[in-house]
Amino acid sequence: MRPILIQFNGIALPSYGIMLVISFICAILYVKKATKKLNLPWIIIENLAFYLMLGVIIGGRILYVVFHWTQYSNDLLGIIRIWEGGMMFFGGFIGALLAGIIYLRKEKTPFLVIADTIAPAIALGAFFTRIGCFLNGCCFGKPSTLPWAIKFPPHCVAGSSLVSQYSLHPTQLYSAVFGLVLFFFLNRKLFKPHRTGIVFALYLIFSGAFRFGVDFIRYYENMANFWINQMIAIGIVGLGLGIILYTKASQAKH
């Protein structure tokens, strides 16, 4: 593991922070290219990217801090040191979703049209950030005897956990691979004829279902955290199914 990816002249660049930046850059480049193909206004997407980034960072950090309060109760400044790691995917997703809805409503731009365009980028971003989690040694799995299970070194989060003596499921890598596969699937779907909202709905359904499943082999010190994530995952799948039903009903009316 490499919690610190680059270090020179006393400056340490953490792996998770670097991968988070890479995920945003790649997502923006992808969406910029997609908007040209789909003839969407880039200025809207450009401004939206800023608000989505804020939503991801603030939402992801808030939910993480809530469920890891003992880690920050005596170090309040640590809450803003996001480059050290410590984000919750669902917190970031909810934060970005709310920020996007508010901004697009203000601009009077159809939410589902934009959501379809950025859905593959979200999956691609998850690929990079989960690689960051693996390098940081966080978001790890339960003990496993599978041949690809990993014994994490003591200088990372997993290596200093209560299960540090065991080989563990590399759930970060499972999630990274899933994110990459989902990206290619959604990208293919986006540039084929489809009902508005379907690409985003499929992202919600598949990502929510995957997270619901993978969490059963992910290690949680706080089971309340597990159950909250499970409920949110089910809610996201339900939202995706709701969008599909809504788009079918809207098409029937026309």
Question: Per-residue pLDDT for 147 more than 70?
Answer: yes
| pLDDT per position as a tens digit, 55-105 | 988 888 888 888 778 778 788 887 777 766 677 778 888 898 899 999 999
Question: Per-residue pLDDT for 140 more than 90?
Answer: yes
Residues ≥6 apart with Cβ < 8 Å to 201: 240, 241, 243, 244, 247
Burial of 193 (0-12, 13-18, 19+ CB in 10 A): exposed
Question: Per-residue pLDDT for 39 more than 70?
Answer: yes
Question: Per-residue pLDDT for 11 more than 80?
Answer: no
pLDDT band for position 41 (50/70/90)? confident
Calpha distance 28→231 (Å, rounded): 30
What residues does each domain of the chain span? 16-253
For position 219, what pLDDT does the model report? Answer: 96
pLDDT band for position 135 (50/70/90)? very high
For position 44, what pLDDT does the model report? Answer: 84
Do you know the residue count of the chain? 254
pLDDT band for position 115 (50/70/90)? very high
- pLDDT > 70 fraction of the chain, expressed in percent and rounded: 96
Residues ≥6 apart with Cβ < 8 Å to 15: 2, 3, 4, 5, 132, 135, 136
Structure tokens at 240: 């995706």
Q: Which of 141, 70, 62, 69 is nearest to 98 (CA)?
A: 62
Question: Per-residue pLDDT for 252 more than 70?
Answer: no
Residue reference for tokens 């799995």: 141
Residue-by-residue DSSP string for 137-194: T-S-B-B--STT-B---TTSTGGGSTTTTS-B--HHHHHHHHHHHHHHHHHHHHTS--
Average pLDDT, integer, range 191-208: 95
For position 254, what pLDDT does the model report? Answer: 45
For position 65, what pLDDT does the model report? Answer: 85
Average pLDDT, integer, range 30-45: 86
Residue predicted with more confidence, 27 or 253: 27
What SS3 state is found at 7? strand
Question: Per-residue pLDDT for 144 more than 90?
Answer: yes
